[in-house]
């Protein structure tokens, strides 16, 4: 679980509202799922999986803590800080939790439900 104090520190430093922070966090999770999911059914499983979410938030907090260390030495101007935040948090895109992803991609039951209950329409 993300530390509330880390979130608050980042929001204060970057002058973001809670909604703006949450939207940016969700967009990051969404982009990460698209990189490693590759198929709509697996992307959906990644987004819905509690273990993946817990892992992601833990790793993301590590990136944010790295940013907070950088923010201590960077002049207190919002735009350069936002650039540093992006640079620190984008590192999560390179992290691939092999066992978690493998456990999801092996879950064929979910993929079959997703695919078999979808009507197929053909254009004439």
Cα dihedral 112, 114, 119, 122, rounded to 10, equals -80
Q: What is the pLDDT at residue 73?
A: 87
Helix (H) or strand (E) holding 21: helix 18-37
Burial class (CB in 10 A: 0-12, 13-18, 19+), 41: buried
Q: What is the pLDDT at residue 6?
A: 92
Q: Report yes or no: 79 and 87 within 8 Å, Cβ to Cβ.
A: no
Q: What is the pLDDT at residue 124?
A: 52
Its pTM stands at 0.78
Q: What is the pLDDT at residue 75?
A: 75
User: What does the alpha-carbon distance between residue 82 and residue 97 come to, in Å, rounded to a whole number?
Assistant: 27
- Provide the terminal-to-terminal Cα distance of the chain, rounded to the nearest Å: 51
On the CB side of 34, how many CA atoms lie within 13 Å of its CA?
A: 6
- Give Cα separations from 75 to 15, 72, 82, 89 (angstroms): 15, 8, 12, 19
Q: Report yes or no: 68 and 10 within 8 Å, Cβ to Cβ.
A: yes
Q: What is the pLDDT along the chain (124 residues), one digit of tens a residue?
A: 456 689 999 999 999 999 999 999 999 999 999 998 888 888 888 999 999 999 999 999 999 999 999 988 887 787 889 999 999 999 999 998 888 888 776 655 555 555 555 666 666 5
The H-assigned helical ranges of 40-97 are: 40-48, 50-73, 78-89
């Amino acid at each position: 679980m993300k530390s509330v104090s880390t979130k608050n520190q980042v929001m204060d430093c970057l002058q973001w509202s809670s909604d703006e922070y949450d939207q940016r966090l969700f967009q990051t999770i969404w982009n990460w799922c698209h990189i490693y999911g590759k198929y709509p059914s697996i992307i959906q499983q990644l987004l819905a999986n509690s273990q993946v979410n817990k892992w992601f938030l833990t790793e993301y907090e590590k990136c944010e803590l790295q940013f907070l260390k950088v923010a201590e030495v960077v002049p207190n101007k919002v735009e350069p800080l936002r650039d540093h935040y992006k640079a620190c948090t984008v590192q999560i895109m390179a992290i691939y939790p092999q066992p978690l992803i493998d456990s999801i991609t092996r879950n064929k039951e979910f993929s079959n439900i997703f695919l078999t209950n979808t009507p197929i329409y053909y254009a004439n």
